Amino acid sequence: MSEMRKITAFLPAELLEKAQAQTGAGVTETLRQSLVEMLRRDAYRRLRALKGKVSFDDFDLEELRRDREFDERGNVIDRG
């Protein structure tokens, strides 16, 4: 989250007050937390939709447990 945007939003006062009471934060932080929560819930919904559709038979558990080093792009550095 590097770029910030200033917005104008028209919200029901009671809704905003209740949300701020819940977070204990100001307007900006309350809206930020709400947006992050919305994205988190969507990610969980998509993960739940995968239930039973992903096969782990092709994975070697011991291989996955090995410590590895990664470069700046996230590629595994082969030291072996």
Per-residue pLDDT of 34-44, as tens digits, reads 999 999 999 99
pLDDT at 26 over 80: yes
- Asked whether residue 4 is domain-assigned, the answer is no
Containing domain of residue 35, as a range? 13-77
Does residue 8 form part of some domain? no
Within a domain: 3: no
Query: Which percentage of the chain shows pLDDT scores above 90?
Result: 61
Residue 5 lies in a domain: no
d(CA 23, CA 21): 6
Percent of the chain at pLDDT exceeding 70: 98
pTM above the 0.85 mark?
A: no
Residue 31 lies in a domain: yes
How many structural domains compose the chain?
1
Q: Measured between alpha carbons, how far is 21 from 36 in angstroms, rounded to an integer?
A: 18
Measured distance CA(8)–CA(47) in Å, rounded: 33
